[in-house]
């Protein structure tokens, strides 16, 4: 029940949120809250609410940390994954969830993203990917499609975009997935799996920014943008059985990479044990 969810997991005193009408970020924040609710209430998981830490950087996405009623830290631009690394290293028992955006995690924070993926430190990164820098008013980001307009690309964007989920997978992430705002139920399930995954996990969730990206690029209002997601972002089970012609221009959502690699803090715990045994001898 959404209303119960708000009372249980949102900081009501700090709502309404600052996001524009039609913004997809609220849906992603809800997906995260539902996923966490289900995880906490499933006693098999043995995860306490106080074991969860939400870490965010700077940008529209990163305000979500303040709205969610968990231990939360809103850090500096691009550095959320690096702060999260320290938190996890200091207390591996904590479930550290990074809420970030396309600019925050793949431009200014791109280095931290690929190295955290490579290490396979047990963090979960949820990227609110809206293809634009919203907080500063609509500049092109590393995920803005080539040719699209932004305030800093008035003649069209020359850059080629990142696919953040594939970037993370390429960097060695043991779990990399893609979700979107339209397919909220599927995306919530993906986020749940990402949080429960042992090792580094990333979910690149396609948001919608009708205010800065949509308007500038004549993508219609929020509803139109969601319809585009419905028609072009296809759940993996359906995507896999599509004909090559039908696949053209479309992307699958779902888990793109899932591997059982050694988790960094578990490996470090073994290292400590080795050192101590050696000292005892």
What is the binding site for another protein (CB under 8 A)? 11, 14, 49-51, 53, 55, 65-66, 69-76, 79, 81-91, 93-94, 111-112, 115, 265, 268, 271-272, 274-276, 279
Burial class (CB in 10 A: 0-12, 13-18, 19+), 5: middle
CB of 89 to another protein, least distance (A): 5
Would you state the structure tokens that stand for residue 141, as one six-digit string?
A: 């980001």
CB of 37 to another protein, least distance (A): 15
* Cβ–Cβ under 8 Å, residues 57 and 133: no
CB of 203 to another protein, least distance (A): 21
CB of 267 to another protein, least distance (A): 11
Query: How many whole angstroms separate alpha carbon 212 and alpha carbon 151?
Result: 9
CB of 268 to another protein, least distance (A): 6
- Which of residues 95 and 149 has its CB atom nearest to another protein in the complex? 95
- Which of residues 250 and 274 has its CB atom nearest to another protein in the complex? 274
- Which of residues 87 and 184 has its CB atom nearest to another protein in the complex? 87
- Which of residues 141 and 265 has its CB atom nearest to another protein in the complex? 265
- Which of residues 69 and 131 has its CB atom nearest to another protein in the complex? 69
Query: How many whole angstroms separate alpha carbon 52 and alpha carbon 196?
Result: 12
Query: How many whole angstroms separate alpha carbon 106 and alpha carbon 42?
Result: 33
- Which of residues 16 and 244 has its CB atom nearest to another protein in the complex? 16
Would you state the structure tokens that stand for residue 275, as one six-digit string?
A: 């050192």
Would you state the structure tokens that stand for residue 125, as one six-digit string?
A: 């990164």
- Which of residues 112 and 183 has its CB atom nearest to another protein in the complex? 112
CB of 222 to another protein, least distance (A): 26
CB of 260 to another protein, least distance (A): 22
């Amino acid at each position: 029940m959404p209303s119960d969810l708000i009372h249980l997991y949102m900081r009501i005193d700090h709502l309404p949120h600052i996001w524009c009408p039609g913004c997809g970020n609220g849906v992603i924040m809800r997906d995260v809250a539902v996923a966490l609710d289900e995880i906490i209430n499933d006693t098999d998981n043995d995860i306490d609410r106080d074991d969860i830490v939400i870490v965010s950087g700077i940008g529209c996405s990163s305000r979500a940390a303040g709205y969610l009623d968990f231990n939360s830290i809103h850090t500096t631009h691009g550095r959320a994954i690096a702060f999260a690394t320290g938190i996890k290293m200091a207390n591996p028992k904590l479930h550290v969830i990074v809420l970030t955006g396309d600019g925050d995690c793949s431009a200014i924070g791109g280095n931290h993203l690929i190295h955290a993926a490579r290490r396979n430190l047990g963090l979960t990164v949820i990227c609110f990917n809206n293809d634009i820098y919203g907080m500063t008013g609509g500049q092109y980001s590393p995920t803005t499609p080539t040719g699209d307009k932004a305030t800093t690309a008035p003649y069209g964007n020359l850059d080629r975009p990142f696919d953040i989920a594939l970037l993370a997978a390429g960097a060695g992430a043991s779990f990399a997935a893609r979700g979107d705002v339209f397919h909220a139920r599927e995306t919530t399930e993906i986020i749940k799996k990402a949080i429960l995954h042992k090792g580094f996990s990333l979910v690149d969730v396609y948001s919608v920014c009708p205010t800065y990206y949509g308007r500038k690029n004549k993508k219609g209002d929020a509803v139109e943008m969601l319809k585009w997601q419905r028609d072009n972002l296809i759940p993996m089970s359906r995507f896999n059985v599509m004909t090559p012609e039908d696949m053209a221009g479309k992307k699958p959502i779902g888990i793109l990479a899932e591997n059982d690699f050694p988790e960094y803090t578990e490996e470090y715990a073994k290292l400590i044990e080795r050192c101590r045994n050696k000292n005892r001898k």
